[in-house]
Structure 1
Amino acid sequence: MGYFSSLLRALAVSSPQRIGLLPDVPTVAESGLPELAGFEADQWYGIVAPAGTPAAIVQKLNAQINASLRSAEILQRLNTEGAVPTPQPPEVFGELIAREIIRWKPVVQQAQLKPD
């Protein structure tokens, strides 16, 4: 594990499930603290197209990107980074974005964050 040293010890991961890179490190939700039950602050990456992009183009891009995410070379690289690829249709990714906006909007508002 080239990213880690004996000077640091991971206490938990914020993803909903344990990650392959750190299989012995529990999730925050596994801490046993009732106020952290169901805790999740996972990072994700995605590719989006401009609004109004024809559906046929979106579907073609989606098929090619998902095929790449299933390739052995890409899977190996992502695994070494601790990333878990989740190829999915555009509609499912759109639903994720909508849920994340709902989840994080109160945090952004309370912190009075503004885009630069």
Structure 2
Amino acid sequence: MLRVYVRRADRAASRERRSFWQPGTGAKPLYREPILRAKTAGLMNAVAHPAQYGFSDHGPIREDGSELSDPQLTICVELIGRRAQLEQFCRQQGDLLTDKIVVYKPLEQWCVGPAGIT
């Protein structure tokens, strides 16, 4: 499993030219891009988990308010695949992962059924 931490305010590079006459054609949230690229790369699973309370990179504690969300809170993008796939993904997506907190954690996949756990 690979976890990539990004701020809610982080934006991906826009793929389209922005026009003065077309407001709102800005870049999409950055956390979506690794998920799209993980799907293309054939990884098993990719999801985004938004934080509601916490801190990142030794910064101050932040929280979502009842009326406003804090754009500085992190989103954890969790990618699951074989280690070799995850390493290759990181090498190929260096532009996206630069200066981000990236954590690798080995996992076991279990199959649970009437015969027990395998």
TM-score by length of 2: 0.27
**In proportion to residue count, which structure has more strand?**
2
TM-score by length of 1: 0.27
**In proportion to residue count, which structure has more helix?**
1
